[in-house]
Structure 1
Amino acid sequence: MTPAARTALGVVRPADVAAEPWRNGRGVTRVLVARPAWRISLAEIDGRAAFSEFTGFDRLLIPLDHGGLHLEIDGVGHRAAQHEGIAFRGEDRVTADSGDRPATVVNVMLRRSLVGADWAVSIGSGAMLAGLGSSAGTEADVAAVVVLTGTASAPEARPLPPGSVVLPPWTARITACPEDVWAVLRVRPDATSGA
Structure 2
Amino acid sequence: MILGITNPQGKKRYIAAAFPSACGKTNLAMMTPTLPGYKVECVGDDIAWMRFDDQGNLRAINPENGFFGVAPGTSSASNPIAMKTIFKDTIFTNVASTSDGGVYWEGMEKEVDPNVEITDWLGKPWAKGSKQPAAHPNSRFCTPASQCPIIDPDWEAREGVPISAILFGGRRPEGVPLVYQSRNWEHGVFVGAA
TM-score, normalising length: structure 1: 0.27
Q: Which has the higher strand share?
A: 1
Highest RCO, 1 vs 2 (Cα 8 Å, sep ≥ 6): 2
Query: Whose Rg is larger?
Result: 2
TM-score, normalising length: structure 2: 0.28
